[in-house]
Amino acid sequence: MREDRQRIDKWLWFARFAKTRTLAAKLVTSGFVRVNGQRVENVAKPLAVGDVVTLALARSTLVLRVESLGQRRGPAPEARQLYADISPDNGTLVSEGDSG
């Protein structure tokens, strides 16, 4: 695989959306992952910086933009640098501009 690409299952594991690579692969093969709006069923799907990943999880749906490709499964603060959450609703009930 090219240096500017990474397997989707590996990236999900590095970004800490799955405890193991096997569980990351199951997320993909079960149809819970989309890349750039297209459903992904192949765990070897190459992922690049700038791609948009949609994860349908048990209680929420996350929309993430890939900011970096991982080199290892590090601590959570390091994993959060791999993506930007661009979900339309981030779970807040009151916006910061509301006084009331």
| Domain extents in the chain | 6-85
**pLDDT at residue 3, rounded to an integer:** 83
Is 50 exceeded by the pLDDT of residue 93? no
Q: How far is CA 39 from CA 27, 33, 71, 72, 77, in A?
A: 11, 6, 25, 26, 28
**pLDDT at residue 79, rounded to an integer:** 96
Check: CB of residue 46 under 8 Å from CB of residue 36: no
CATH code assigned to 6-85: 3.10.290.10
The residue ranking higher by pLDDT, 97 or 32, is 32
What distance lies between CA 54 and its chain's CA centroid?
A: 7
Q: What is the pTM of this model?
A: 0.84
Q: For residue 81, give both structure tokens.
A: 């640098």
